[in-house]
Every structure is written in C-alpha cells, then in structure tokens.
Amino acid sequence: MTMTKQSKSIGILCAVLSAVCYGTNPFGALPLYEEGVNTATVLSHRFGLAVILLAIVMLIKRESFKVTRQEFKVLCSLGLLFAASSITYYQSFHFMDAGIASTILFVYPVMVAVIMALFFKERVTMVTIVAIVMSLIGIGLLYKGEAGASLSVLGIILCIISSLAYAIYIIVVNQSSIKMSSFKVTFYAMLVCEITLILYSFTSPDLYLHVLPSPRAWMFAVWLSIVPTILSLVFMTVAVHHVGATPTAILGALEPLTAVTIGVLVFGELLTPRLIVGILFILFAVMLVVVGKDLHMRTITHAVSRLWHWR
C-alpha cells in the first residue's frame, strides 16, 4: 500500500511524540527512587495506574472491552513482551551503570530493521542504514557514565534481551491484523504486563511491592503512568501503523535526547560539547527518516563528513 504524505506526516509526528514522552521516564522515576521506592513497586504502580486510566478513557468513549480469542493472543504477547523488556532492563542496573545499559538498549532499531528484512522481506535502503548508524553514534555520545565503568556480561545479556523484546513488540504491532483503537491495544497490553509484574514480584524478597510513601510519590507515579506509558505507547502504535516499524524505531533515538534535555533543564546537568554533537547526530538521523527517499546519498555523505570532522 502506497504511503500518502498525510499518512507519513501523522506517523512521523506520532513517532516523535512517542519518543519524547518515553524519554520523560527519569523525570518520574528518579524522584520515586529518592523516596526509597524499589523497582518492582515503581513498575507495578506505573502499569497498574495506566490500566485504570485507560479503562476510564474507554468507558468515557463507550468503547467495548470485548476481544476475540485471536486478538487476545496477540494482546497477551504484547503484554508479555513489554513486561520482559521492562524487567530485564531495570534488572540490568544491578550489574552495570544505568548510562551504559540505556546505550546498549538502543540497538533495537537495528534489530527491528534486520528482523523486518529477514522475515518480512522489507527492503533496507541506504538512507535507513545511515540513519541507524547516526542515531547509534549520537546515543553513544550522549552517554555520560564514569570513565572505566565495568561491563558485566550478565548486564549486557539482560540489555540485549530487553532490546530484542521491545523490537519484537514494535514488529508485532506492525504485523498484527487486529482492528481496534490504540487505547484498547495499550489497555490489554498493560493489563497483561501488570499481571506479569505482580507474579514476578513473588520471585525474590527484594522485589516485594509496597504502598507509595507520600502524595509526592503518587504524583510522580501518575506521571509515569500517563506520559511515558499511555501516551508513549498509544502514539507508538499509531506511528507504526502509518510509517512502519523501522522508521518508528529509528525515531526512538529522540528518547535519550529527551532524557538528556530533562537532565540539563530540570536536574542542572552540564551541557557539554560532546552532548551537543550527540544531539546533532540524532537530529540528523531524524531528518533522514523524515526526508527519506527525497534525499540524495551524495548530500548525506557530505553532511555526515562535515559533522564528524566538526566533532
């Protein structure tokens, strides 16, 4: 099916909004950790509140909760994939610096492109390859960890599993034939995700769930459930259906860029020349996705060369 300019514009806008919303995770998660809330409790409240809020939205819209057996199988797979991605990602923090973990996580655009090419015969253009490389370089430059930080084999494996689970989540959304609203898809995916997280919390004494300690904590939990969860996943679902899995995944590079921006503006972190160059690389990758076929490879090569030498 030929993609219209309007459809592409909607898809790109939703992909950008999805990435920016997801990139606000630190704004909600860090204050909760400061109040002594453990990872299992943060994730459980994040997804549990998301389920409640999505249910309210569906009731207001008078949208049916009914699903067929086939639809339920797809929705369960989405919930399990997102739960697996979240759990392994947060668990990797116990074995390596969070900055390294977040950098490794963003190999998922490569995974999406490779899986789509191998199993769904999607053509990978040179523009797509350059965009992926530019986004990975940019994300690498945004990493602000301490020099000499150790790399744990187990931590790397957990990050790779998390990245692969999220890549498959995007592809399932792209390839599934279910016809329902993005809110309904996200509701059932988050419901299965929440049930999985509750069951997972019983696997270790360190993963117990407890009540949030203060109104401030509840405020940030609500933020996590709305912005980086509901809005991010709803926009992502719309984006995948309009522009496809690979462009949506590449535009996800705006997520760490958003996190860095929040760090600078909210938490007073220093904006270094390295961060500026990393941001430029990511914005360049985004421009490639937006312009796509209309950009000649000679122009791309020249721009990349100048950007790299300026670095």
For the segment 263-280, the average pLDDT, to the nearest whole number, is 80
pLDDT band for position 1 (cuts 50, 70, 90): very low
Which range among 133-147, 191-205, 242-256, 273-287 shows the weakest confidence by mean pLDDT? 133-147
In the block, tokens 């991605």 appear at 85
What is the pLDDT at residue 283?
A: 82
Nearest to 47 by CA among 300, 233, 172: 233
DSSP structure class, residue 147: T
For the segment 266-294, the average pLDDT, to the nearest whole number, is 77
Separation of alpha carbons 195 and 76, rounded Å: 11
| Average pLDDT of every residue of the chain | 83
- Taking the domains of the chain in order of start, what are their residue ranges? 23-310
- Mean pLDDT comparison of 92-106, 138-152, 190-204, highest-scoring range: 190-204
For the segment 148-168, the average pLDDT, to the nearest whole number, is 83
Q: What is the pTM of this model?
A: 0.81
pLDDT digits (tens, 9 = 90+) for 68-80: 999 999 999 999 9
- Is 158:104 a contact under the CB 8 Å cutoff? no
- Is 248:132 a contact under the CB 8 Å cutoff? no
pLDDT digits (tens, 9 = 90+) for 54-67: 999 999 999 999 99
For the segment 226-250, the average pLDDT, to the nearest whole number, is 92
What is the pLDDT at residue 193?
A: 93
Residue type, 18: S
